[in-house]
Amino acid sequence: MPGFFQSVREDIAAVFESDPAARSYLEVLICYPGLHAVWAHHVSHWLWLRGMRFLARLNSQIARFFTGIEIHPGAEIGRRLFIDHGMGTVIGETAIVGDDVTLYQGVTLGGTGKEKGKRHPTLGNNISIGSGAKLLGNITIGDNCRVGAGSVVMRSVPANSTIVGVPGHIVLRDGRRVVITDPKDIRDPLSDVIIKLATELHELREKFQEHSHEALGAEPDFSIDEEKPPAKISPQDLFQDDYQI
């Protein structure tokens, strides 16, 4: 683990690397509450590990008052964490955050109930969490993941994935678009609705053609179609890509 002052230098360098609005060292040192919250957490976590729990919580609450960012002293924070516009950001007691992670305003790494033990998310390295995203429960977010703003993630996510939506679902994995094929695997109400509407549309089309032929006094004949549409529509029929989960 790096020393305190080495960590401070790394945190400042991470700001210049991640935020194009950073103009000078003085501005970063004075005007970036995300940095102040991370540095205060170093002190709080040191106190927490040495059994001084009350002082650790007191220090974390003072930092919360001045920065608007709440990091529990028990949380394990990696190197070069960058909290940008972090007002309302919350990191729970058993959360583990890897290296080179970026959190934006309003992100929550929280729990889902009153269970004991590990109850907060674990984040890998090189992860970006968009504004207002909520990651809840003892889940793991793999390395190099991106979570879209406003997403609610309650299941573990493999590395190199992009997650969006409520509930959160994977839309990109290893740079390739993902089509949800099994709603039981990743529940996506929007995909369910689209599939149902597409199926009903084809059923109505068939009935319309049958009634049209009956009105003309002819037997139903679908030969005029190049290809008779399937009775049930799968996600592969809605999307022309071959990408699967």
Distances (CA, A) of 243 to 142, 189, 191, 202, 239: 20, 20, 15, 24, 9
Q: How far apart are CA 94 and CA 207, in angstroms?
A: 58
Copy the structure tokens of residue 137: 């429960």
User: Which of 80-84, 97-101, 194-198, 224-228 is least confident?
Assistant: 224-228
Question: How does the average pLDDT of the chain come out, rounded?
Answer: 81
Copy the structure tokens of residue 60: 């974390």
**Is residue 228's pLDDT more than 60?**
no
Sheet-wide strand order for 90-91: 70-71, 90-91, 108-110, 134-136, 152-153
pLDDT digits (tens, 9 = 90+) for 85-120: 888 899 999 999 999 999 998 999 998 877 788 899
Q: Which amino acid is at 216?
A: L
Pick from 112, 62, 103, 70: nearest CA to 88: 70
Domain edges within the chain: 4-177, 189-238
Helices (H), the chain: 4-18, 25-31, 33-49, 53-67, 189-215, 235-238
> What's the predicted TM-score (pTM) here?
0.68
pLDDT digits (tens, 9 = 90+) for 172-216: 887 777 665 554 455 555 666 777 888 888 888 888 888 877 777
Fold of 4-177: UDP N-Acetylglucosamine Acyltransferase; domain 1 (2.160.10)
